[in-house]
A and B are shown apart, each in its own frame.
Chain A
Amino acid sequence: MEYILIIISAIFVNNIVLSQFLGICPFLGVSKKISTGMGMAGAVTFVMVVATIFTYLVQKLLLAPFELGYLQTISFILVIAALVQMVEIILKKVSPPLYQALGVFLPLITTNCTILGVAIMTIQKDFNLVEAVVFAASTAIGFGLAVVTFAGIREQLDLLDIPKGMRGTPIALIVAGLLAMAFMGFAGIVK
C-alpha cells in the first residue's frame, strides 16, 4: 500500500515537471516531437534509478557516518556526472541499439535538475532503499508522462495559426500552464 501511494503521488499528484518545476529545460527542449520526448524519458528513467541508488549509498555509507552532510551537493553532482559518463560508455559497448536511441540525450542529463533533485529529495524524505528506487522510477515515469503528453500537444500546435508574438516559447509555456492546471485535478488524492 505504501508503495502504491508513493507511485501515485510521484506520477500524478506531485508531478515532477508540472507541480515541482524540476526538469523544465528538457521539458521545453525535447518536446517538439513525440519520439524525441520518448527517448529523453527513457534515458531519464534509466539514469534516475541508477543515480538514486548510488547517491543513496554514498549518503548512508559515507556522508552520514562521517558527518560530512555539507558535502552532499558536491559529492552528489560528481557521482551523477561520473555515472552518466559511465552509462554512456557501457551502453555503447553492450547495447548499440539502445545507445543509438538514448545516446544524444545522455550528456544533457548531467545538467537535468530532476536527477539531482530526486537524489536530494530521497534523502530529505528519509526513504529506505526500496522506497527510494520506487520513488525514483515513478518520478521518472511522471516526467515521461508530462513530456510525451506535452509533445503530442505541440505537434498539433504546429498546424495552428498562432499570433506572431505568441509563436514558439510563449504558446508552449501557456500550454504547459493548462497542462499543469489539468494535473492540479489530482491534488488531494494522496498527501
Chain B
Amino acid sequence: MNQWNNFSKGFFKENAVFTLLLGMCPTLGVTSSAINGLGMGLATTFVLVMSNIAVALVKDFIPDKVRIPAFVVIIASFVTVVELTMQAYVPSLYDSLGLFIPLIVVNCIVLGRAESFASKNNVGSSAIDGLGMGLGFAMALTILGTIREFLGSGKAFGLSIFPEDYGMIIFVLAPGAFIALGYLIAIINKTKKTA
C-alpha cells in the first residue's frame, strides 16, 4: 500500500467516526464547542501515533496471548503523558474535557488500530496510519463541534456570528449531540450513495 493512501484513508474512506462508528463517547461528549473537539482530536492523535509506534516496535517480543493487556498498558502510559502535559500547559482545556482525557484509554479507535494495524506492520507505516486516523478523528470532532457551537450559541471557535439569544440551546446539550451526529452521518451516507 502506498503511504499516501495509508495516510488519507483515515479522513474519508475509513473515517473512524463517520464510517466505522468508533470512539463515539468522546465524539458526542466533548463536541459542545469546536475548540474542545479540536483539543480532544489532537490529544487522541498524539496517543494514536505514539502507541502505534510503540506497538510496532515491541510486537515481536510480546507473546500472542497477553497481547491485548500489553497494548492497553502501552496506551495507558501515553494517555497519562497527555493528561499530565495538558494539566500543566492548557489547564482550561483540561478542565473542560475532564473525565474524557483518561477515557482515551478505552477509546476503541486506539486499541483497534494497535490490534489491527500496528501489530502487523512496520514502524513507519504504523506511525503514518496513526497520524491519518487521528487527524481524521480530529477533523470529525471539529466539524461536529463547529456545527453544534454554531447552532447552539451562534459562535464558531468562540467568535460570535449571530447573537447568542437566537441560538438553539438544545444543540449544546446532550440531545443535540445525538441529533446533529445522526443528521451528519445521514448526509454522508446520502452523498456516498450518489457519488
Contact = CB atoms under 8 A, between A and B. Distances in A.
A24 B28 contact: yes
Contacts of A28: 21, 24
- In this complex, the interface size class of chain B, counting residues with CB under 8 Å from chain A, is 35 or more
B106 A176 contact: no
A183 B25 CA distance: 18
B99 A184 contact: no
Interface residue SS majority, chain B: helix
12 contacts: A22-B25, A22-B29, A73-B102, A77-B72, A77-B76, A81-B68, A82-B69, A112-B106, A116-B102, A120-B99, A165-B189, A177-B182
Find the residue from A28, A77, A81, A121 having the highest chain B CB count within 10 A: A77
Interface stretch (A59-67, A131-139, A167-175): A167-175
B157 to A, nearest CB: 22
B111 interface: yes
Interface residue SS majority, chain A: helix
A125 B72 CA distance: 26
Interface in B1-39: 21-22, 24-29
A177 B186 contact: no
A24 B24 contact: yes
B175 interface: yes
